[in-house]
Amino acid sequence: MTASSANAPGLRAWLTSETPSSPLQARCIQVYLGWLGLARNPLAMLGLAIVVCLILAAIFAPLLAPYDPIAQDLQRRLLPPGTPGNLLGTDELGRDILSRLLYGARITLYVVALVVVTAPVFGLLIGTVAGYAGGWVDTVLMRFTDIFLAFPRLVLALAFVAALGPGIGNAVLAIALTSWPPYARIARAETLTIRNSDFISAIRLQGASPLRIVTGHVVPLCLSSVIVRVTLDMAGIILTAAGLGFLGLGAQPPLPEWGAMISTGRLYILDQWWVATMPGLAIFTVSLGFNLLGDGLRDALDPRSSR
């Protein structure tokens, strides 16, 4: 028996213990049980596989792409899928569509990553402060949130980009500015359910400041709901970014952004269908993957779920 196989039962017992001996063990047990719940959902694992493939495609794009994504070859323009050397065909400028899709995955992840580290953090801060403080603070912050919720996300993003100017950076900023209100609403609802709990009262009696209570105890309890919402929102973020790119307000040519690729390909949709269809299928697949993963995370992380 090898050392690794001997240690495996001990590690499994440590991760399934009903009496954790430290906060670290309790957190690890929670993560492990969540993973087991996620692994039992085949659709969630399919979504996870799609997301992992997207990340790997973005990381190894220089190794996987057969050509430079912006290199033009007018003698090979509009070649159909299956052409030797061009698996998914070429576009109107002779650029390899597969290469552009692989490099476009980098732009998609760039947008998603920047929005994830801005919008949920800001929404979580607004929601927890509003829910814990209550009174006029809650009223002012929630009415401010309602103003943003009153406008459709894409329309509001278009307004911000029109004011800031086209470009991938401004598109990310516009998407982040329009994505935070749902997180604020979720965080506020979670905070309202726990702010009068016995353990919060005990912490308050020990002399903890409101800032410490919010950051150290309220925010961690809201994270699971926010994480699920973030995963489910990824599809909407990708579609919004693609919509801005389609309208020419996102990533600018010659960057291989999927929405911009559909915009140029729509001119050839009847005869050279693959030019617009391939990036459309990429957006569909990635959005489906994030939705399936988000549904699985919701079932795995929600303690009130019956599954």
Q: What is the pLDDT of residue 145?
A: 92
Q: What is the pLDDT of residue 4?
A: 46
Residue 307 CA to residue 304 CA, distance in Å, equals 9
Q: What is the pLDDT of residue 30?
A: 77
| Total of domains in the chain | 1
Whether 39 maps to a domain, the answer reads: no
Whether 167 maps to a domain, the answer reads: yes
Domain carrying residue 133: 45-75+83-301
Whether 8 maps to a domain, the answer reads: no
237 touches 112 (CB < 8 A): yes
Whether 30 maps to a domain, the answer reads: no
Q: What is the pLDDT of residue 306?
A: 44
Whether 112 maps to a domain, the answer reads: yes
Q: What is the pLDDT of residue 302?
A: 64
Contacts of 246 (CB under 8 A, 6+ apart): 259, 260, 262, 263
Query: Which stretches of the chain drop beneath a pLDDT of 50?
Result: 1, 3-6, 306-307
Contacts of 143 (CB under 8 A, 6+ apart): none
Q: What is the pLDDT of residues 189-243, one digit of tens each?
A: 888 888 888 888 888 888 878 888 888 888 888 888 888 888 888 888 999 889 8
Q: What is the pLDDT of residue 9?
A: 61
Whether 246 maps to a domain, the answer reads: yes
Give the up-direction half-sphere exposure of residue 276: CA atoms within 13 A in the CB hemisphere: 13
Closest by Cα among 100, 113, 241, 236 to 168? 241
Q: What is the value of pTM for the model shown? A: 0.84
For residue 138, the surrounding DSSP H or E stretch is helix 135-149
Whether 11 maps to a domain, the answer reads: no
Whether 17 maps to a domain, the answer reads: no
Whichever domain contains 184, its CATH number is: 1.10.3720.10
